[in-house]
Structure 1
Amino acid sequence: MHRCIMSPRYLPGIVFSSFIFAVLPASADDDFSIDRARWDSERSRLEVRGDGHDNRTITVLNAYDPAQTLGSDRVDDESWRIRVSRPSPVPCRIRAISSDGQALERNVSRAPANCAPKSAQEPPPAPVTLQVDDVTGSENAGTLAFTVSLSAASSQPVRVEYATRNGSAQAGENADYLETNGSLSFPAGTTSASVSVSLVDDQVAEATESFRLELSSAENATIADASGTATIFDDDQIDPPPPPPPPSGPSVSINSTSANQEGALPISPVETQDLINTGTHALLVANDLGMHCADIDYQVFSILPPFNVVHAQVIERGGEPRLLDDSTMEIVYSAASSATDPALANKTAAERGEPVFKGNFWQTLPGDQYPLWYEVYSPLYFGLLQPPEPALDQAGDLVQDKGLPVPDSMKLAGNGVEPNCLASADPRSECGLAQSFMPGFMEPFVVNEPQHFDRFDRDVNFFNGLLGGLGLGAVIPDTNWFSAEGVPIMPVDDQGRSNAYPLMRVQAIDKATQQVVASTDVVLPVASEADCQQCHARALDCAAIQQEVYGYSLACDEEALDRTDLGALGGVMTLDGDNLGALPPGETLEQRLLNTAKINILRTHDAKHGTQLDSQRRVVCASCHYTPALDLAQLGPTDSAATDQTKHITMSRAMHGHHGDLVSKTDSSVTLFPAMPAPNDPIRLEPVANHLDQFPLAQGSQLTVEEYVLEQSCYSCHPGKRTDCLRGAMASAGIVCQDCHGDMLAVGDDFSHDFPNNHGNIDPSKRVPWAVEPGCQSCHIGDAVNQPSDTSGFIYAADSIRLLRAYRTGDASATPIRVPDSRFAENQVTNDQGQTVDVLYRLSKGHGGVMCEGCHGSTHAIWPNGNPNANDNIAATQIQGHAGTITECTVCHETSQLPDDTQGGPHGMHLVDDRRFWKEGHKDAAKRENGRPGRGTCGSCHGSDHRGSVLSRTPVDRSWNVEGTTRTVAAGEAVGCDVCHSLSKSFER
């Protein structure tokens, strides 16, 4: 039905003769309308605006060519607006669609004669596309010319912006080429033009280098190929240095298998999959914790198995990117390596004169009926783990390079959908057990076969309702990630080097074509650095570990020895044996030394508690001391034929609480594990030798107070002396473990303290290990103008925006600060008991449903890592061209299809490094926001004074041309309005 409507620009009662005939009206109801659709020929810009319901999204299309999306905007203050610079073609008529389903149309006033299509029946003109070719040349050529071409001659003039981007060749200091940006014009009827870039011909011999020319903001054409690569060959000849001696093994650190060496190793490392990225998809990948730990040897006792977890999300790039699921994509992983891996400095097993030993998790030792994986971990599977039965020709659940089975969390208790699978008649089948493999499965050291992510988690059940609720967990909706759980990787590469940061190449495969569309190399971090030896082994034995052989040395203090009489149990175990003549088991010196400490721990436990663990061995601590880390069944503390968890304190309380209470053997007035001074205490960075009154056991130490306390507390057991568990942005900022988690007594003060007296009596006022943890919001409490009202006990950083500690001063329990309305807060959900649950960072998601870790990196390893060669930096560099948080909108978006003044990005961000924004869009945003408190959203990051803040720092060097002048902001520098113009101009309204 056609309706005749009057333009709302005219006052009621005025007669006019022009009528607009529309299939759809310009006003659907009293709240949704199109007030204007106008072409501005001077600015080559289309402006559409109207009214609507707050928080709904309005998308504007070409009414006669719905494939042309012009932009979208979220309704704010009951109004919306979209500006599109140089659309191609200019539409004759537009359609606005509200997210509630309403749709309106309106003719574009002042539309040019060549607007298209002219009607719904007229087919849209075939698009003219742009592409830029690659180019090569010698450094002494003077210039390199990129050819930019059109797919066909256009009847209209075509214009496109261009800018150079650094690759291995750099502009700026020690330049390889001169930065170039500007616009390129194609008169009507032409199909080719060129951009010349000047090269710097120095006298330095260099490797072949490259940089890129990128196209953007095309007018009267679309961009088919936005990037061309320039390859520069060096022309400087110098006498090459003498070749290095041939290496004893392959010069790559790659980890394809967790098998031990049997016989000679292959001459060459395993082959890697090609790194393929088609540009059509983004692949975001992250390990869940930032560091996993695994025992090297399992024959005495075990704390943790080889068990790594990696999540991935695939995004189809476009104006409106889409998260893809397992209906169209499959994800695989295989071993990868980096030529700049710092681990290459470590000695190979051959250089140490040893075979490659990665662990004995899958071995069956003499006298044992079953392999160690079953002997140790079957108690935690409550009868579900099947051992090998050779007589029945059954291999069992695990074989070499195959990890522990993991149930589907949404089939366990508290899933809110269906009964607990563990209570079913066939739990092995009903629980959806999945297992992950190493890429060398079946042919270790020979093959590198891509292994599948076996699960796509639409939702995740994280201990929902466990322990009577406690606000512990919930069903986390819409996680929408591919998951590989239980990857059995060890911290030793295929040549026997120690490498805690091995790489896996994760690849997204289109199911329809079976072609790889995206690849990302990600670290699967794993460490075996649980240094029980420091206290539980003889100092003389520890001295056998030499820096020149193993890359580290051990200095042990014997603090745990000789406190308890072990004479009746064989005495203290040493590398030379015990009082009964028994020797520590193990194939390598490191293995035997670790086992001396483990045996001494079991004997001490037996002597103090009347157990018989040393004679039993093959012990998993969690069979008595519950830990959520190994509660794959999500049952909580459970008693069974093989577990006794409700009568004993948790593993966290046993380790942190017990050890945190210990005093020195030689001076009972001195705490053995000292407390860390507050982050604003200047003594942290001073030599501990200057503060022996506070740290009397530090006599002779060359460390700072901070380093000494870390090594004597957290790093006595957790990776930190040789392996950096805490690394990345937080470590670079000087944050340490205690700043987030509190001291050992705070961490150990959990819900289980009354278990020995009243079995299973949970204290809901205490923390729950692995679940009650600080979040981003605990320190990132607000922005430059929005801060919490109650700041008591806060320790602010120098920027007065962020905190240096995640809990309030004076809080002995180190309860994490929660600021749920911070723009940096994690998600909140409601569990099945009606409790509001603060979701952990590693389970939270943000912009567009993307997992937080996908853009920021893993917990404990937030991007970037301060070492530019670190494997942690590779994923972000592959995804966006530089290390650090994923900030480039072009990773997922075709930004030309977004409004130039949008603030709909992550945490309310505007477009990044986008010519349309800094040339036009930011002006409109500033005028809109300046009248609001604190200068509105602009002030939130750039400060109410518009001079910039820590939140407006650029991760890389940025340059842009303003009114004929190039403005440059260096990496790490805050962007303020006065970079380009006066501050007074920025406050105009």
Structure 2
Amino acid sequence: MNARTVPFPFPFSFLLFLAALFTAVTAIADESRLQVSPSSVLMNVGATATLTVTSASGTVSVESHETSVVSASYANGKVTLKGLKAGSTTVTVKDRNSSRDASIQVLATSTGGGGTTTGGTTTTSTYTLLAWNDLGMHCMDGLDFSVFAILPPYNSLHAQLKDKSGKLIASNVRITYEAVADSTGSINTSSANKTNFWSWVNGLVGLNPAPNVGLNLDGLATGTPAPGNKAPSLVPAPMSYNTQYAWFEAEGIPVTPFDDTFKKNFYPTVKVVAKDLSGKVLATTTTVLPVSDEMTCKGCHSSITTGNAAAMAAKPTTGWVFDANADRDWKKNILKLHDQNKLSNTLYKTGLSQNGYNTSGLLATANGGKPVLCAACHASNAYFDKLNKTTVMKGVAGTTPFTQALHTKHSTVKDPATLLPLDNINDRTSCYLCHPGSATQCLRGAMGKAVDANGKLLMSCQSCHGNNAQVGNKARQGWYNEPTCEACHNKAAPGQRATSGVNANGVAIVPTDHTFATNANTPVTGLNLYRFSKGHGGLQCEACHGATHAIYPSSHADDNTQSIAVQGHAGTVSECSACHTTALPVTANGGPHGLHTFGQGWVKGHESAAKASTSSCTYCHGADYRGTALSQVKMAKTFTVENGTKSFAAGQKVGCYDCHNGPNP
């Protein structure tokens, strides 16, 4: 018998307990071995930091893996670190028996027109590397896949490399990713020991990747899937170059939300490294591969003995399953309820037969040792083959698509905790009941954390996506018809923000103002998706602005590590010096989004552009020419002006009155 088809013999929670126990015993044994503290350090260029070495045996040596980023020396039980340039690296401390690694992140202290300034010395880096996750949060429906699967462990990492002349680098480089400790010291270097996915993946999708290797949907639509990518580990894994999107990628990385101590961490971090063909490091960066297992239905479908009417509404007529394994219990209840409501339906029986499921129903199928894939019957564009630009899960003809079925069915359901309908337009928690989630808080970017003067959230998930009924509207295609940036970021923005980025049918609003727009007909005709759009210098929008749901600056610290490293502050990568070392041309439309370039050159030479059309300045500087959020300085700057110098504090909104008596002095 194929070992991969054998049902898991023990509750997965028990296996997690054994693994945690083993980790604890190992930790006790390791107390007498080499120890290095702390395991991660965040420091500035020019600063020094110290690692403490204890329980060393014999001669101690220390190595910085990237000596251009940080130097390291050892003496008398201490490792002295000095930050040399912005970037990240690993420092390894060894004695005669073992070794320990510490993750080091060096941040720029301040940036000017030519590079990173430290104590009066300006250093420059030849390349800038930007990496990002495409959705801001990937989901997996729990750690047990023996009953059914909505989404497997599947993450996407993209990266672009620029030289400081502004050119994207596509060849003669090798870019890799590897696990690295985050700012709290948490590290995630494996996945196969944390989920039973690899025991059931073949039964779910007919593929059989090795443990710790993920699925790759690219090419699957034509039967030739690309090789799977590995879970991040301490061994660098390669990324491949995608000519169409001009990015390096690793699709389907199977990362889980548990670190190496089995502690929950929704934001595991990876280090991305670019090297030339000789092995010389060109640039490094650190980013998150966010993943949550809070995409569950257990809020309403877990077996319970008592509860209010809303909590008991999903109880099958013949009773709850009460499976001893909590991860399987809610899934079995769903299959039981599905059978109860649909088994007499001819189309339902067709789906069972077409997918090789037990004709007695889905619960019988799962109980018989074959897991159910929801997308096998309900088409899902979440399974997107971007090489062939189509979903690979087209479902059973005549069956409602997955996004439509779920959101429409549950739009009238009440949250057992609040008793509000899930269709409530102003209640973010209604989305977090199924999507990640009350603990994950995946909507964590600049929009998701915006509050009014009283601390009330200004925006919820529904502000962009609409309510459940709109998301599930049959006029909308799930995962394809998504909100566009320009729906809210346009000349009429004050009248649209915090309402909705979609129309009554759930389809994205696309105004005529395309200043801050996603790309039309991307990635295919009729679509307009941020996660595939690009802009200034060929950089992907997400490279500078951050991933969907985690737009810079994020409320999660490790989301901001990259932008701080490349430009000296969190937020959109907007400092020209992040990608350019040469003086930029003075142009009214040559900057990002067709706006003017920034810096000392523009300050000195903008007079002719201002005289030509002061009205065009109002878009960013306001109708009163006193500045708006779009003309805000993100870090302290000093410029040479006509009568000396002018300094701006971080957060100051730049307008004509800062240096002149209005737009026409």
Q: In structure 2, what residue type is equivalent to 1:375?
A: G
- 1:743 is the counterpart of 2:467: yes
Shift in CA distance, 939/228, structure 1 to aligned 2, threshold 3 Å: closer
Evaluate the alpha carbon distance shift between residue 622 and residue 908 of structure 1 in structure 2; reply closer, same or farther with a 3 A threshold: same
TM-score by length of 1: 0.50
Secondary structure in 2 matching 1:826: coil
Matched, 1:483 2:234: no
Shift of 1:136: 8.2
118, 130, 140: which one aligns with 1:229: 118
Shift of 1:212: 5.3
Q: CA deviation at 1:866?
A: 3.2
Which residue number in structure 1 is paired with residue 321 of structure 2?
573
Counterpart CA distance in 1 for 2:628 and 2:548 is 25
Matching residue within 629, 632, 655 for 1:976? 655
Matched, 1:856 2:573: no
Asked if the contact 1:507–1:520 (Cα under 8 Å) also holds between the matched residues in 2, the reply is yes
Partner of 1:302: 149
| Structure 2 counterpart of 1:767 | 476
C-alpha deviation, 1:806, in angstroms: 3.5
Task: Give SS of 1:731's match.
Answer: coil
Contact 1:356 1:496 in 2 (8 A): no
- Structure-2 change in CA distance of 1:213 and 1:906 (3 Å): closer
- TM value normalised by structure 2: 0.73
Provide Cα deviations, 1:271-328, integer angstroms capped at 9, x if missing partner.
xxxxxx971111121111111001311011111001101111111112xx21111x32
Aligned runs of 1:520-559 on 2, under 5 Å? 520-539=285-304, 559=310
Q: 8 Å contact 2:108–2:565 — kept in the other structure?
A: no
- Name the residue aligned to 2:228: 435
Separation of aligned partners in 1, 2:636 and 2:124: 26
Query: How much does 1:961 deviate?
Result: 5.3
Q: Does 1:804 align with 2:498?
A: yes
Alignment of 1:355-394 (within 5 A): 358-362=194-198, 371-378=199-206, 385=207
Q: Is the 8 A contact 1:301 1:619 kept in 2?
A: yes
Q: Which structure 2 residues correspond to residues 134-533 of structure 1 after superposition, within 5 A? A: 227=116, 229-230=118-119, 279-295=125-141, 296-318=143-165, 321-325=166-170, 327-340=171-184, 358-362=194-198, 371-378=199-206, 385=207, 397-408=208-219, 422=222, 427-428=223-224, 433-440=226-233, 448-454=234-240, 456-459=241-244, 479-511=245-277, 513-533=278-298
Query: 2: distance between equivalents of 1:313 and 1:532?
Result: 37
Note the C-alpha offset of 1:962.
4.4
The answer (yes or no) to whether the contact 1:627–1:652 under 8 Å persists in 2 is: yes
Q: Provide the secondary structure at the position in 2 that maps to 1:854.
A: helix
1:488 Cα deviation after fit: 0.5
Please say which of residues 522-531 and 658-667 is displaced more in the overlay: 658-667
User: 1:689 is matched with which residue?
Assistant: none
**Structure 1's 825 and 779: CA in aligned 2 closer, same or farther, altered over 3 A?**
same
1:908 Cα deviation after fit: 2.7
Per-residue CA deviation, residues 514-542 of structure 1 (Å, 9 max, x unaligned), is 2110111111110000242211124579x
- 2:389–2:523 contact (8 Å) kept in structure 1: no
Q: Is the 8 A contact 2:487 2:508 kept in 1?
A: yes
Structure 2 residue corresponding to 1:710, chosen from 428, 436, 458: 428
Once residues 313 and 109 of structure 2 are traced to their aligned partners in structure 1, the CA distance between those partners, rounded to angstroms, is: 66
Task: Give the AA of the match of 2:592.
Answer: P
Q: Is the 8 Å Cα contact of residues 382 and 391 (structure 2) preserved in structure 1?
A: no
Does residue 921 of structure 1 match 2:600?
no
Aligned: 1:891 with 2:578: yes
1:645 to 1:211, Cα distance in 2 relative to 1, 3 A: closer
CA distance in 1, matches of 2:501, 2:415: 29
Out of 555, 563, 568, the residue aligned to residue 866 of structure 1 is 555
Distance in 2, Cα, partners of 1:281 & 1:303: 40
Letter in 2 for 1:943: G
SS at match of 1:728: coil
Q: Say if 1:596 and 1:137 are closer, same or farther in 2 by CA, change over 3 A.
A: closer
With over 3 angstroms needed to count, the CA separation of the structure-2 counterparts of 1:655 and 1:962, relative to structure 1, is same
Alpha carbons 2:242, 2:248 under 8 Å: kept: yes
Name the counterpart of 2:424. 675
* Counterpart in the other structure of 2:630: 951
Q: Which amino acid aligns with 2:508?
A: P
The 3-state SS of whatever aligns with 1:373 is: helix
Q: What letter corresponds to residue 532 of structure 2 in structure 1?
A: L
CA-based RMSD? 3.4
Contact 2:482 2:528 (C-alpha < 8 Å) held by counterparts = no
Identity of aligned residues (%): 35
After superposition, give the CA deviation of every residue in 1:134-156 in whole Å (9 maximum; x if it has no partner). 97899xxxxxxxxxxxxxxxxxx
| Residues 881-912 of structure 1, C-alpha deviations (whole Å, 9 max, x = no match) | 2110011111111242x224554110133343
Question: 2:596 maps to what in 1?
Answer: 910
The code of the aligned residue for 1:955 comes to K
Residue pair 1:539, 1:558 contacting (<8 A) in 2 also: no
Deviations 1:327-366 (A, max 9, x none): 322210001123347x79xxx9xxxxxx99621112xxxx
Larger radius of gyration: 1
The code of the aligned residue for 2:571 comes to G
Q: Give the number of the structure with larger relative contact order, counting CA–CA contacts within 8 Å between residues 6 or more apart.
A: 2
Match of 2:382 among 623, 626, 629: 629
| Contact 1:294–1:305, Cα closer than 8 Å, also in 2 | yes
Shift of 1:573: 2.7
Residue 831 of structure 1 and its aligned partner are, at CA, apart by 9.1
Identify which of 492, 515, 538 aligns with 1:823: 515
Matched, 1:845 2:534: yes
Change (3 A) 1:453 1:732: same
**Partner Cα distance (1:517, 1:531) in 2:** 42
Cα distance in 2 for partners of 1:453, 1:505 equals 12
Query: CA 1:510–1:941 in structure 2 vs 1: closer, same or farther (change >3 Å)?
Result: same
Shift of the alpha carbon at 1:624? Answer: 0.9
The one-letter code of the counterpart of 1:658 is: K
| Cα separation, partners in 2 of 1:401 and 1:597, compared to 1, 3 Å | same
Cα 1:947/1:737, change in 2 over 3 Å: same
Residue of structure 2 in register with 1:776 after alignment? 485
Query: What SS does the corresponding residue of 1:956 show, helix, strand or coil?
Result: coil
Q: CA offsets per residue over residues 752-798 of structure 1, 9 Å max, x none? A: xxxxxxxxxxxxxx11111111110111123xxxx5xxxxxxxx53x
Partner of 2:399: 648
How far apart in 2 are the matches of 1:662 and 1:655?
Answer: 11
Using the alignment, how far apart are the partners of 1:437 and 1:665 within structure 2? 39
Q: Which amino acid aligns with 1:311?
A: H
Distance 2:248 2:296 in 1: 34
C-alpha change, 1:941 and 1:519, in structure 2 (3 Å) is same
For the residues of structure 2 that align with 1:213 and 1:334, how far apart are their CA atoms?
Answer: 28
Q: In structure 1, list runs of 5 or more residues that go unmatched.
A: 1-133, 139-208, 217-222, 232-276, 349-354, 363-370, 379-384, 386-396, 413-421, 441-447, 460-478, 542-555, 575-582, 585-591, 678-708, 751-765, 788-795
Aligned to 2:448, what secondary structure does the other structure show?
A: helix
| Rounded Cα–Cα distance in structure 1 between residues aligned with 2:467 and 2:571 | 29
Instruction: Indicate conservation of the 8 Å contact 1:819/1:825, yes or no.
Output: no
CA shift, 1:940, in A, is: 2.3
Distance 1:663 1:614 in 2: 25
